[in-house]
């Protein structure tokens, strides 16, 4: 982290968290954030993930750039891939404020945004206009949610795919946000199978066929993880993202523990990695898994890969460490792979038993 980034983060942390988030978006848009310009890459870091050619396996998780407002800048921030959204069929304001809480002492965040976004059509237009030329042309995916007032939330996913699917390099069905009522109910075996059937049909009807992922919660028990694995393998999707935020409040101080919403950041790491490893054991290499939840260092990215991930995503740690974190993790992963004479493929899943 350089001095400009250090003082910029200190200034942002003096503001209300949501105002700070919006200001960071504006700073990126105006070229005020130091960025590496292109993603770190090498023969060791390059990976094909469900048909996507990634320069490195360190991605940006959904939730930061909900409306795809700053893609040209994010594509120069060192990420190997980016996920924007969540997008819903219709625009919606989300839940009442305050809805974002910075837990500095815990290196954590609680949010209850509730899929605030400008709607699938507006987001699709920005995705269509994004840079395509290297080094900016890294894969950009769209996270998909359901409108809060929808009477049939499962059909909302297919609707967003029909509106925006052709503009994204991959699509993520988000059934795991804790901030939309009854959304997590769609992770049950029967409901998830029906939802994914509809999403796959909508994706297959597009002029192009972007990979389709499903994002799951870290609060699933063993039986639910087995159900998710079984449904995913039978649905014709291309991968799983594990995991979203948690409803648990383990590992944080009392100051914000009573706030409702999803907890992300450092306290989520162990919980989400346990779920990742259990899922990886069930999947047994038949689908790639993207590991997300609490990653704030190269060692933690390494452990996610050992637990069964093919690639990783970061988000909450950026609030405390800045955008230089993505480039640093990618470069340090490359150096460690070289030192230990491993490929990413050899590393992935090599430590599943350590996390079960």
Average pLDDT in the chain: 94
What's the mean pLDDT in 215-237? 94
- The pLDDT assigned to 315 comes to 97
Q: Give the range of the structural domain holding residue 204, as residue numbers without chain letter.
A: 3-355
Which pLDDT band holds residue 240 (cuts at 50, 70, 90)?
very high
Residue 115 has pLDDT above 60, yes or no: yes
Residue 177 a catalytic site member: yes
Distance CA 243, CA 232 (A): 15
What predicted TM-score, i.e. pTM, was given to this entire model?
0.96
- The pLDDT assigned to 238 comes to 98
- The pLDDT assigned to 131 comes to 84
Domain tally, the chain: 1
Share of the chain above pLDDT 90, in %: 89
Distance CA 289, CA 280 (A): 7
- The pLDDT assigned to 134 comes to 53
Contacts (Cβ under 8 Å, ≥6 apart) of 297:
329
Catalytic residue, candidates 150, 154, 176, 177 = 177
Residue 191 has pLDDT above 90, yes or no: no
- The pLDDT assigned to 177 comes to 81
Which pLDDT band holds residue 48 (cuts at 50, 70, 90)?
very high
CATH number of the domain that 178 lies in? 3.20.20.70
Distance CA 208, CA 236 (A): 16
- Measured over all CA atoms, what is the biggest interatomic distance in the chain, rounded to whole angstroms? 54
What's the mean pLDDT in 139-147? 97
What residue numbers does the annotated binding site for FMN cover? 62-66, 86, 143, 174, 215, 243, 265, 294, 315-316
Distance CA 329, CA 106 (A): 21
Which pLDDT band holds residue 133 (cuts at 50, 70, 90)?
low
Which pLDDT band holds residue 219 (cuts at 50, 70, 90)?
very high
Distance CA 317, CA 331 (A): 17
- The pLDDT assigned to 291 comes to 98
Residue 276 has pLDDT above 90, yes or no: yes
Residue 185 has pLDDT above 80, yes or no: no
User: pLDDT tens across 58-99, in order?
Assistant: 999 999 999 999 999 999 999 999 999 999 999 999 999 999
- The pLDDT assigned to 136 comes to 56
Residue 225 has pLDDT above 70, yes or no: yes
- The pLDDT assigned to 135 comes to 55
Angle between helices 3-12 and 17-29 (to 10 degrees): 140
Distance CA 21, CA 326 (A): 18
Which pLDDT band holds residue 269 (cuts at 50, 70, 90)?
very high
Which pLDDT band holds residue 187 (cuts at 50, 70, 90)?
confident
The length of the chain, given as a count of residues: 356
- The pLDDT assigned to 336 comes to 98
What's the mean pLDDT in 12-32? 96
What's the mean pLDDT in 165-181? 88
């Amino acid at each position: 982290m350089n001095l400009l980034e250090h003082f910029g983060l200190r200034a942002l942390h003096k503001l209300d968290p949501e105002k700070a988030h919006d200001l960071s978006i504006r700073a990126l848009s105006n070229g005020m954030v130091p960025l590496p310009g292109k993603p770190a890459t090498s023969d060791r870091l390059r990976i094909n993930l469900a048909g996507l050619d990634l320069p490195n396996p360190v991605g940006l998780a959904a939730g930061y750039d909900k409306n795809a407002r700053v893609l040209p800048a994010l594509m120069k921030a060192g990420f190997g891939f980016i996920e924007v959204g969540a997008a819903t069929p219709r625009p919606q304001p989300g839940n009442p404020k305050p809805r974002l809480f910075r837990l500095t002492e815990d290196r954590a965040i609680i949010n209850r945004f509730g899929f605030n976004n400008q709607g699938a059509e507006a987001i699709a237009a920005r995705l269509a206009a994004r840079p395509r030329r290297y080094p900016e042309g890294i894969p950009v995916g769209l996270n998909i949610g359901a409108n809060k007032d929808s009477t049939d939330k499962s059909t909302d996913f297919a609707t967003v795919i029909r509106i925006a699917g052709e503009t994204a390099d991959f699509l993520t069905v988000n059934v795991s946000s804790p901030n939309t009522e009854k959304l997590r109910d769609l992770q049950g075996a029967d409901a998830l199978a029906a939802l994914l059937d509809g999403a796959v049909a909508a994706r297959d009807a597009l002029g192009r066929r972007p990979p389709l992922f499903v994002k799951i919660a870290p609060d699933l028990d063993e039986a639910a993880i087995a159900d998710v694995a079984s449904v995913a393998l039978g649905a014709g999707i291309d991968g799983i993202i594990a995991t979203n935020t948690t409803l648990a409040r383990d590992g944080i101080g009392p100051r914000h523990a009573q706030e409702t919403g999803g907890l992300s950041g450092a306290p989520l790491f162990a919980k989400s990695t346990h779920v990742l490893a259990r899922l990886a054991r069930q999947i047994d290499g038949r689908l790639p898994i993207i590991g997300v939840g609490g990653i704030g260092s190269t060692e933690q990215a390494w452990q996610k890969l050992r637990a069964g991930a093919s690639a990783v995503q970061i988000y909450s740690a950026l609030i405390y460490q800045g955008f230089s974190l993505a480039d640093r993790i990618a470069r340090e992963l490359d150096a460690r792979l070289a030192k230990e004479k491993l490929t990413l493929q050899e590393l992935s899943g090599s430590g599943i038993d350590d996390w079960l």
